[in-house]
Chains A and B, each alone.
Chain A
Amino acid sequence: MRDLEGTAIGAGDFRLEEDHPRPGTVVVSVHGDLDLHSADELGDRLVGVVDRGVSMLVVDLSDVEFVDSQGLGALLRGTRRFGAGKERFRLVVPTPEVRRVFEITALDQVFPLDESRELAIARGDPPGREDPRSG
């Protein structure tokens, strides 16, 4: 396998994008596989976003086909940094195969999972604009 040294298999496939659909709300979109190779990058980004001060953070996994325990750990880092008001930390997980990892680990009871970015933003709306427990 020496010929594969330095090829950085998969390293170029992972990337993060950040959107600000409205003041105080940040959406971090993950593209590529979320595993040991990429988890720290996501975890660091989420911690950085939270430390900047946000009222709502959405992590969009729509373009993720694979998540392992290290990826889950990165998400836990982010939500723990967020502290109180975890209903404002939401995950977009439309893919059944990815959602299954959350179900296996019972983390679907920890993270609010939504089918789409629009639903996540609507459900995480601050009280007064929309009750986050509705829908």
Chain B
Amino acid sequence: MTAEAVRMRFPARSEYLLLARLAVAGAARRMALGRREVADLKLAVTEACSNAIRHAYAEGLPGEIELELVLERDRLELVVEDHGTGIALPLPDPPAPSEWGGMGFPIIRAVVDELEIRPSEGGTGTVVHMTKRARPGVRVNGDPRGRTSEV
């Protein structure tokens, strides 16, 4: 089964977080995921985008976020990329929760199966690559006949 990909670009502003969640929910629907899995994916994409908004473009400069959703046969990949100031890698140990943040990446790690954080290829910026695998027996990639594919 051929992968499907959706790419979108939006301003790095908080009012667009809902747009990212809607896109992910739409993709997740094609995988017939459960409510909990959909909620996990919405949480992951929101945390990744929020991190870009708060840190990559923290000086108030205008910036954009690129979101790519790739529906593979057995998984959904979420790729969030910014072209801001970049992130110091590797990440430090998870800090204690505070009112100002620090919980974003620990939350992402808890709700996705794989997480890779790397510098953007273009120089500055950060790529957050998240993978959520479908559970066995879940229909993937919107089979128009509605059949279940064992994965």
Contact = CB atoms under 8 A, between A and B. Distances in A.
Interface in A60-97: 66, 68-70, 72-74, 76-77, 80, 96-97
B99 to A, nearest CB: 4
Interface stretch (B5-13, B71-79, B119-127): B5-13
Interface stretch (B41-49, B80-88, B133-141): B41-49
Given A5-B11, A37-B15, A69-B47, A97 B35 contact: yes
B68 to A, nearest CB: 15
Name the residue among A35, A76, A101, A105 with the largest chain B CB count within 10 angstroms.
A35
Contacts of A74: 99
Interface residues of B, number: 33
B99 A96 contact: no
A97 B36 contact: yes
Nearest to A10: B18
Size bracket of the A interface: 20 to 34
Given A4-B10, A9-B18, A36-B17, A105 B97 contact: yes
Contacts of A104: 107, 110-111
A106 B97 CA distance: 9
A26 B47 CA distance: 30
B142 interface: no
A68 B104 CA distance: 8
B46 A107 contact: no
Interface of A: prevailing SS: helix
A105 B107 contact: yes
Interface string A1-38: 10011001111010000000000000000000101110
Interface in B96-127: 97-104, 106-107, 110-111
Interface of B: 8-11, 14-19, 21, 35-36, 39, 42-43, 46-47, 50, 53-54, 97-104, 106-107, 110-111
Return the 3 tightest CB-CB contacts between A and B, nearest first: A10-B18, A37-B14, A97-B39
Given A66-B46, A104-B111, 15 more contacts: A1-B11, A4-B10, A4-B16, A11-B15, A35-B17, A35-B18, A35-B50, A37-B17, A66-B43, A68-B50, A69-B101, A73-B98, A73-B99, A100-B39, A104-B110
